[in-house]
C-alpha cells in the first residue's frame, strides 16, 4: 500500500482529508511525493505517523509536542528524553485538574446536602435558590478545566 493519495490515506487511517491537509500544513504529516497531476502521495510511514498522532492525542499531548517529537525522530535522534519531559508536564496538569475536581465535588456534595435539608424541612423559599447563591466560591466552575465547563 504505497503512494496513497490523501483520500485513500484518510480512509486507511480514519482521519478526514481536511485534518490531513492541516497536519501537512503544520508539519505533522509529510507527503512522500507528488503525482504527475500534483496530488500529494503518502507511503506506509504516513499511516504510522498518524497512528502515533492518534495515540498522542489520546494522552493529551499538544500538536506542538507531537511535531517536536516527530521532528526529533526525523533527524535520526531518539525522542524519548523529550517525551519524558512532555509526560511529566501532562501529569502535573492532570494532577492539578484532579485537585480542582475533588474540591468541586466536595462543594457539590455539601450543596446537595443543604438543598435536601432545606427541601425536607420546608425552609426552601420561592425565587432563586439561596443555598446556591451562598455556595463557596470554588463551587463555581471558574477554576474547573475548560473541557468540563
Q: What is the DSSP string of 108-136?
A: HHHHHHHHHHHHHHT---SSS-HHHHTS-
How would residue 95 be classed by pLDDT, with cut points 50, 70 and 90?
Answer: very high
The predicted model gives 33-47 an average pLDDT of: 93
How would residue 117 be classed by pLDDT, with cut points 50, 70 and 90?
Answer: confident
**Fold entry, domain 4-61:** Multidrug-efflux Transporter Regulator; Chain: A; Domain 2 (1.10.1660)
- Percent of the chain whose predicted confidence (pLDDT) is above 70: 85
The per-residue pLDDT for 141 is 54
Q: Find all residues with CB under 8 Å of 5, minimum gap 6, and list them.
A: 35, 39, 40, 41, 42
Burial class from Cβ neighbours inside 10 Å (0-12, 13-18, 19+) for residue 20 reads buried
Residue 40: φ, ψ to 5°: -65, 140
pLDDT at 144 over 70: no
The predicted model gives 59-87 an average pLDDT of: 96
The predicted model gives 67-81 an average pLDDT of: 96
Q: In what order do the strands lie in the sheet with 40-42?
A: 4-5, 40-42, 33-34
Amino acid at each position: 500500500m504505497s503512494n496513497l493519495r490523501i483520500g485513500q490515506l484518510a480512509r486507511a487511517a480514519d482521519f478526514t482529508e481536511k485534518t490531513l491537509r492541516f497536519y501537512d500544513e503544520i508539519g505533522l504529516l509529510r507527503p512522500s511525493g507528488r503525482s504527475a497531476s500534483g496530488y500529494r502521495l503518502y507511503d506506509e510511514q504516513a499511516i504510522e505517523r498518524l497512528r502515533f498522532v492518534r495515540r498522542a492525542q489520546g494522552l493529551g499531548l499538544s500538536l506542538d509536542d507531537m511535531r517536536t517529537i516527530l521532528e526529533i525522530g526525523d533527524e535520526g535522534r531518539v525522542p524519548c528524553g523529550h517525551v519524558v519531559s512532555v509526560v511529566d508536564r501532562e501529569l502535573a496538569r492532570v494532577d492539578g485538574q484532579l485537585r480542582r475536581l475533588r474540591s468541586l465535588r466536595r462543594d457539590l456534595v455539601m450543596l446537595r446536602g443543604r438543598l435536601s435539608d432545606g427541601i425536607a424541612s420546608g425552609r426552601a423559599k420561592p425565587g432563586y435558590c439561596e443555598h446556591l447563591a451562598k455556595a463557596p466560591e470554588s463551587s463555581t466552575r471558574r477554576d474547573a478545566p475548560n473541557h468540563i465547563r
